[in-house]
Amino acid sequence: MDKNGTYFLALKQIARHANSAKPLKKALTLIARRTSQAMKATGCSILLLNPKKEHLFILAAFGLSDRYLRKGALNVYKSIPDIINGEITTVRVSSGNNHTQYPEAAELENIHTIIGLPLFQEGEFIGELRLYTSDERQISTIDKEFLSAVSNLIVLTIEKSELNNLLAQSEKTGKPKQVKLIDIAAATGSVSRTSGFSHPSEDEFAKLLDFYRIEWLYEPKSFPLAWEGKKITEMFTPDFYLPELDLYIELTTLRQKLITEKNRKIRKIRELHPEIHIKLLNKSDYYKLLAKYGYGPLGGSKVEGINKVLFSHTQIQRRVISLAKRISQDYQDRNLVLVGVLKGVICFISDLMQHISIPVNVEFMAISYYGTDKEQAVKITKDLDASIAGRDVLMVEDIVDTGMTLNYLLNHLYAHNPASLKVCALLDKRIRRLVDIPIDYIGFEIPDEFIVGYGLDYHGEYRNLPFIGVLNPEIF
């Protein structure tokens, strides 16, 4: 049978798998197998982009050893980065090729060529389909057409799975739910968990990481520890990898025998791979670790009552640094004054000024409200200490919702005759806007929910949380 006939039959079978009632991972594994067979390849993998859009994880694979699948986290910008540009890419594997992230692992697997192409949903890059061959391979036009058709069927399979999940949730709750096609970049976390965990403590730890919006990969890599000749006789697979922290985590119970054995393996990993950061944790260590890296309850701050974490500590810091960079460029060689209103802005303005690379002055104001809940007026209880006449002023706000208070403050500052006056807000609750005020620098746009943390409070509490969370409506 010629290639046309082979590919036609393969697509019929792949379409049948895509439209089957099989679980997502099973259906995609069958698609990977049939694609590999039709292309006469050594193996095939289907990779999805994680929520931070930095790493790829293997959702399904065929023909590849467990050793190769656990070679390590795939950075989308280091592992065949040309695929992101939207083209089918063929890469010859060699130790000197900087387009492959793990050439040594590929050589051990007897992989000579990797063929990769992107998966797109509504024009957005969401993952990759990869073929692996033991020979040098050139891709023809008909090969490209076949693989493009397969990639579209893979995306449809994932969308169908998510659609079924949403319908099932709607039937279970009895509440009508608007069903949309999957946003893969946001949903990869739930997809990646379909394989399950080997111990309840792993599930608990994963839920804790999810609450704090910390990216994680489950059992992403196995480390060889002992050999007999060229044969590996012992390996160790840490439970989690946290890409943001570049940290491997191995969980353990309090049973001393397990702790002793795992400590032995971790010491061996550190001897063989001193560049690897790895920690052994039991349940009591969870919050200590999270607190150390700025996630957990620091200084006794309460997290009870937080419905969900909207923006993690790392997300906030990345955005603050980005805003500071723009401000530094825009105000180069100018006389900049930052003005903040106490107390909610303290965390934001403190971090922002540290990352601004030009000289700045900082001024603070304080306000109070009087009147009824429906007709509140603003009173300035602390004005600026220094003159801002003829100077460039940047009003720094923690959150802007109706815009009425900000409008009052801007009119007050304009009366001091600054050379220019602009606004930088960490959070923009645009849906609540009553006064249309231009905001020149925006950190995040947020929904109409009660937000606390990172300086924002509820009755004086929650200010010292290192993240921004949504307060449970039952609290107030």
Residue range 159-184, pLDDT digits in tens: 888 777 666 665 655 554 444 433 43
Asked if the model's pLDDT at residue 147 lies above 90, the reply is: yes
% of the chain exceeding 70 in pLDDT = 86
Structurally, at CATH architecture level, domain 310-475 sits in: 3-Layer(aba) Sandwich (3.40)
Which residues are CB-contacts of 394 (< 8 A; sequence separation ≥ 6)?
327, 331, 336, 337, 338, 339, 422, 423, 424, 441
pLDDT (tens digit per residue) in 405-436: 999 999 999 999 999 999 999 999 988 888 88
Q: Which segment, 55-59, 308-312, 361-365, is predicted with the most confidence on average?
A: 361-365
Q: Where are the domains of the chain?
A: 3-173, 196-296, 310-475
pLDDT in tens, 191-224: 344 345 777 788 878 877 877 777 788 887 888 8
What pLDDT shows up at residue 206? 83
CA 50 from centroid of its chain's CA atoms: 6
Give the list of residues 6+ apart from residue 88 with CB closer than 8 angstroms, or none.
115, 116, 117, 139, 144, 147, 148
Give catalytic residue positions.
401
- Other beta carbons within 10 Å of 57: 18
DSSP 115-178: EEEEEEETTEEEEEEEEEESS-----HHHHHHHHHHHHHHHHHHHHHHHHHHHHHHHHHT----
CATH architecture of 3-173: 2-Layer Sandwich (3.30)
* Token digits of residue 292: 């150390």
The mean per-residue pLDDT over the stretch 453-468 comes to 88
